Structure 1
């Protein structure tokens, strides 16, 4: 009898352990399931931004309050993913897309936002990003206990770090001009010590949510929304106040200075009688810019082996 209880307990624990470890040993009747799933795939979706430009009627506000859907542009990319036991994942992703924003969207607005229309600025930028994201499939454990099999649907949270390259441009007489070299707000000028030139390659913090669906043993699909928190307010080349236009001739080559004068302050294109002054508000430096994507990812499993 003294041996029966330990023996029974050992058998029970062994049974539970085998059940736990073999729970996902078979994906289905044709494929084995690895403990660590490797995936790769393609992505496509929409990219938009929240900057100092554009916005909606009334006083500017955060996120959906000032989101301009007509400014959405296409983004594409590739990714690779490691998923452990359907709970935790690590994703390496490359995304390429375009950003755009313009004050002209407020042309027919008669609220306080009309001052943004009269500012008459716009930008576009090609954007490329590499990101490393951690995934937490927060319902996976519960779903596994409920159905005792691989969950076909799995919502998850993602966060990580990214590095991106951008280059804001504006249209001048039919030509797209890079704005950063023109220092349109006097960045780097001795007269404005707090306005420093910004780098075109920077780090960001991506944070988002997604849902993953298994289409088959080989293919799956994901839907993700990811916002990038930035460390700059110059994604659109707009942040603070208008500089003294006479300073451009002091710090820039004459050909660049001529472009900078026209692109820094475009209010007179709307109102030729405007008495424009330096140091008037051009943007809002209290809140950094951001951009985000809503994207669909088509996944392909790399290491599910067919049963013999």
Structure 2
């Protein structure tokens, strides 16, 4: 009996070894990467869509980078986003997104801010609606085993990529008694002389590229639904999201070669009594700044419409060309995981 038992056990062990070897051979390729193939077969690629709403903030000539917190809050606006994500591995997904974001900036926030009083005197403001198409790679810091159905309850992630966007900066016309202040497009006004015969620069493009990088987290709500939050920083390849980036143009050139009085009034706004966007009276703030830099008491350039030194001609800076503009987006989003297999109803 023991003899037959030994033969049976030996036969069983050999059978298991042969079956295991056969399975490994079927999974292997000519390079012998059987483990890699087996591992890939365990993961099922999946897709998801999401819709999000959140905030947007701009950084540039009208919202300085070195006042990051104040710039983030002062010009905060909104954004809407739709994304499609294809999860191609346990950690990596490729995402295509559409975003509509509004950004803005306003020099009037710099009243009595030490070191930035000249911004207040400059008195520029803008609003810009960005329509963006992005492609980013998303890396999950917590892997998903096999399929999205086995995903963890909380998944933090990082992402980065490239985006192309269309934009059009606008600003309000000066507040004048008996007239209505209206939003007008700034690029066609050649506010810094761009594109005029006696100026070297061309009009800035209304289509540009940005490079988004960010982080986020997803929280599992149910089998197919997640709630997510993310934050992304977008560095743009343009310095003209705000229509400011170079020198002042000569008013005579704007009058004769651009859009006449409208170009003149929108290019140099230092002598306006009211900040057109917020409606505040600027007079006392301007007088305080001029007194601090040595102007005689009683000098009131707003009342007399006398040019202010530093805000006059083609040698004076209207913006800083050293840094391009950028924007920060946050988003709270609802995510739906598309089922990988759809069961058809039974026909009876």
- Taking structure 1 as the reference length, the TM-score comes to 0.81
- Output one character per residue of 1:72-119: Cα deviation in whole Å (capped at 9) or x when no partner: 11111211111123311111111112111001111132x111111111
Structure-2 separation of matches of 1:245 and 1:54: 26
- Output one character per residue of 1:98-148: Cα deviation in whole Å (capped at 9) or x when no partner: 111001111132x1111111110000012211111111124427xx69xxx
Tell me the SS of whatever aligns to 1:61: helix
What is aligned with 1:182?
189
Structure-2 separation of matches of 1:108 and 1:72: 21
What is aligned with 1:157?
158
Is the 8 Å Cα contact of residues 107 and 119 (structure 2) preserved in structure 1? yes
Is the 8 Å Cα contact of residues 220 and 298 (structure 1) preserved in structure 2? yes
Matching residue within 125, 129, 154 for 1:122: 125
Query: Does residue 1:298 correspond to 2:334, yes or no?
Result: yes
Deviation of the 1:12 alpha carbon:
9.8
What is aligned with 2:66?
61
What is aligned with 1:10?
21
Matching residue within 284, 298, 303 for 2:320: 284
The structure whose Rg is larger is 2
Structure-2 separation of matches of 1:240 and 1:82: 42
Deviation of the 1:177 alpha carbon:
1.1
- Output one character per residue of 1:17-69: Cα deviation in whole Å (capped at 9) or x when no partner: 99956866xxxxxxxxxx111111211000111010034xxxx627x266231
Please provide the CA RMSD for this pair. Answer: 3.0
- Taking structure 2 as the reference length, the TM-score comes to 0.73
Is the 8 Å Cα contact of residues 217 and 304 (structure 1) preserved in structure 2? no
Judge which range, 267-276 or 284-293, deviates more: 267-276
Tell me the SS of whatever aligns to 1:220: strand
User: Residues 7-156 of structure 1 correspond to what in structure 2 (within 5 A)?
Assistant: 7=18, 10=21, 20=39, 35-55=44-64, 61=66, 64=68, 67-109=71-113, 111-140=114-143, 150-156=151-157
Is the 8 Å Cα contact of residues 218 and 304 (structure 1) preserved in structure 2? no
Structure-1 separation of matches of 2:94 and 2:228: 15
What is aligned with 2:6?
none
Tell me the SS of whatever aligns to 2:132: strand
4+ residue stretches of structure 1 with deviation over 3 A? 3-14, 16-24, 304-308
Deviation of the 1:202 alpha carbon:
1.7
Structure-2 separation of matches of 1:158 and 1:188: 38
